[in-house]
Chains A and B, each alone.
Chain A
Amino acid sequence: MTAPGRRLPKGGGLPWTLRLEPRLAAPRWLSPALTAGALVLALAISAAILAIVGANPGKVFLHIVSSSLGSAGAISDTLVKSTPLILTGLACSLAFRMRLWNIGAEGQLLLGAWAASAVVLVPLVPAGAPAIVVLPAMLVAGFLGGALWGLIPGLLRTRFGVNEIIATLMLNSIAFAWIQYWVFGPWTEGGFQMSKRFSQEAWLPRLSDLAASIPALRGLTVHGGFLIALVAAGVVWLIVQRSAWGYEIRLIGDNSRAARYAGIRIARNVLLVFAVSGGLAGIAGMAEISGVVHRLQDNFSPGYGYTAIIVAYLAKFHPLRVVPVAILFGGLILAGREIQPSGVPAMIQGIILFCLIASEVFLRYRVGITRRMPAAAGHAGRRG
């Protein structure tokens, strides 16, 4: 054995020990291969758990595929579900790239939806204004609502050193109660937990709106929010990969100490990234109520902001990769609505995330298993 293998201090009473040797460089194919392997493993584990609790894993997976990709309508519905996931996934990717753990995309999404609703329900634009005025106003309001909600944990961290994970989670709960206050209280429609339906000027156009001239589009629910999400992905990619600001974000994420020595103002970047991240999640909220539900209600998000964490992680914080990953998870959420037991999608998401982070050890280390021989002299470790 030539390489100086770093042994773990102890392998318990097992007949073998795990050996991790740091890699200097990983081959290019390894990262995607590991991701694919982790996904396959995650599905296998999920299937095993489903079989143990008495569900039929084959049926569940077949259902997921057929109800998310089985027809043009199903694919369209998948894209609808993926729209908020792309935007919140971008929000998380941007923050995570700087190692800023914004777990608050859910709350920022809710506040964005609330602010966009305020444009219609207060109303902040005169009633009867055309869509060309109302929709941009809602978009801006959604961005600002999410951005301001995102600035709170940013300020708490830069001013008081409060951990942003706990802060954003608390703010998610506060945001949910805030939405409930408005849909049960001032904006309620006859005491139900929803506002009145928005007028048509506040609806993002759908593909099916064109069905009169192109019959094939009938029933397709994809709305303008999907385009907004794609544009946002491009913009975030430009910011992160091609701008000076993005360079600062990446530098802080990779080595915050070096960044500080290089004269980069960390606090300012924390605030800016939190604001833009929150704003992206806010747009997701706007797109969801303007493109899908057409009113504010308290339960319109099945936890998009939390799934976004996994989306961002699976995309390795790369803005453009967020799009396909979000579409994948959009299909999972869509199919998950009818799956029993109802916790299955969340469970699968957790297992996927676990397998992903576990797989990364192979990227950073050569992992070997060494057998413990009674006579230690002269045995060579097998490399995995």
Chain B
Amino acid sequence: MDLQLIMAAGIAVGTILLFAAIGEILAERAGVINLGVEGMMLIGAVAGYATAVSTSNPWLGVVVAMLAGGLLSLLHAIITITFRADQVVSGLALTFLGTGLARVLGEGLSNAGSISLLPRFSIPVLAHIPILGPIAFTEQSVLVYIGYLLVPTTWYWISHTRPGLNLRSVGEEPAAADALGVDVVATRYRYVVAGGLLAGLAGATITLAVQPGWFGALTVNGRGWIAVGLVIFASWSPFRAAIGAYLFGAVVQLTLAMQLPPTIFGLSNPFFDYHPNTFFLEMLPYALVLLALVAGSREAMRKRIGAPAALGIPYARGERGR
């Protein structure tokens, strides 16, 4: 097992979760839970892949994927912000719709042949940093590097800019924000759609960069839900989301790598000797999310940091939240 390779692959796989989690952070910071991440990622994955297959332009695929995810999230925005319906149920509906629609649109795509993927390259100077260089800056997809840039950008935007302040105020105290002249409805629309664009990008990251191909609903395989869990673990902070996403990616890659060698540290490998044992490895990432949530919520209780105060509550001027 080459740990460096595993970590590098973990970062690539983690980038998928990173985009989706950052998108969800933006929506939730505005006070809207969107549980439809899985569906938006699938739609993004299929739209990006289909575009790349038919135009052989992966960049166009990325754009279409983001638009598809954004369009789906717009539906959620209309239902939950304008119609003030339950955000949980609408998000579930979005997952059903996105999953079904993606499977309908993806019919026959699984044997579309090979496509040209997004470019991979090394960063000149950074690639020579010991340990970190080969893991993080060598032969990674361009989307991985975009992910690195997105984390500090989002953090700065949320914490240190005027629009970011408006975003937080809408998620914490919409009535006060409204009184100060912030357009609550428009702000929420904007960030829900931004979340959709990023979920679409996460889908494109799968099919156009990290794990190319279309495998129906298995293409995303529950990672949208893991991203939603990651947001809670990250206490709505982009940096913590990044740590969680990359760690999670590394663990997933590790569980895959552990199935291959006949021996590990000189001991016979139970996952090689008896194939059914590998199903316990498959459980591990999901169990890890549960553990992370337990740890995250304990810490949140201790430090008294919590979800945005207005999360999940529709806003209507002059009405008290439900």
Contacts and interface: CB of A to CB of B under 8 A. Distances in A.
A184 B279 contact: yes
Nearest to A365: B84
5 contacts: A10-B186, A18-B82, A171-B286, A181-B276, A346-B100
B274 interface: yes
A103 B287 CA distance: 17
A357 B79 contact: yes
Interface string A155-185: 0100011110111011101100110110011
A349 interface: yes
Which secondary structure dominates chain B's binding surface? helix
In the complex, the 6 A-B pairs of residues with the closest C-beta atoms, listed nearest first: A343-B103, A347-B100, A185-B276, A350-B97, A350-B96, A346-B100
Nearest to B46: A343
A350 B101 contact: yes
- Which one of B85, B100, B101, B289 has the highest number of Cβ atoms from chain A below 10 Å of its Cβ? B100
A354 B282 contact: no
Contacts of A22: 319
B290 interface: yes
A297 B97 CA distance: 28
B90 interface: yes
A351 interface: yes
A160 B297 CA distance: 7
A6 interface: yes
Contacts of B294: 156, 160, 162
A345 B178 CA distance: 42
B100 A6 contact: no
B95 A350 contact: yes
Given A184-B279, A185-B274, A354-B90, A170 B229 contact: yes
B265 interface: no
Interface string A165-208: 11101110110011011001110100000000000000000000
Interface in B173-187: 178, 183-186
A181 B280 contact: yes
Interface residues of A, number: 58
A177 B100 contact: no
B93 interface: yes
A165 B289 CA distance: 12
B97 to A, nearest CB: 3
B232 A166 contact: yes
Nearest to A343: B103
A360 B301 CA distance: 35
Contacts of A25: none
Contact of B88 (A156, A165, A361): A165
Nearest to B83: A361
Interface of A: 6-10, 12, 18, 20, 22, 49, 53, 101, 103, 156, 160-163, 165-167, 169-171, 173-174, 177-178, 180-181, 184-186, 188, 306, 309-310, 313, 340-351, 353-354, 357-358, 360-361, 364-365
A49 B104 contact: yes
Contacts of A181: 276-277, 279-280
A358 B90 CA distance: 9
B41 to A, nearest CB: 14
Given A347-B104, A353-B92, A358-B79, A160 B298 contact: yes
Contacts of B39: 350
B283 interface: yes
Interface residues of B, number: 61
Contacts of B84: 20, 361, 364-365
A20 B316 contact: yes
Contacts of A9: 178, 183-186, 317
Interface string B198-237: 0000000000000000001000001001101100100000
A349 to B, nearest CB: 5
B100 A344 contact: yes
A174 B283 contact: yes
A48 B219 CA distance: 26
Contacts of A6: 316-319
A349 B297 contact: no
Nearest to A54: B107
Contacts of A186: 276
B117 interface: no
B322 to A, nearest CB: 10
A311 to B, nearest CB: 12
Nearest to B106: A343
Given A166-B289, A170-B286, A177 B99 contact: no
A344 B316 CA distance: 36
B95 to A, nearest CB: 7
A103 B38 CA distance: 14
A41 B212 CA distance: 36
B186 A165 contact: no
A34 to B, nearest CB: 13
A309 B96 CA distance: 10
Contacts of A365: 84
A341 B107 contact: yes
B279 A178 contact: yes
A161 B301 contact: yes
Contacts of A167: 290, 293
A348 B100 contact: yes
B283 A178 contact: yes
Please indicate which of the listed interface residues B98, B183, B228, B286 has the most CB atoms of chain A within 10 Å of its own CB.
Answer: B286
Contacts of B92: 103, 309, 353
B93 A353 contact: yes
B186 to A, nearest CB: 6
Interface string B286-307: 1101100110011001000000
Contacts of A20: 83-84, 316
B97 A343 contact: no
Contact of B225 (A169, A178, A351): A169
B113 to A, nearest CB: 19
B252 interface: no
B72 to A, nearest CB: 10
B167 interface: no
B75 interface: yes
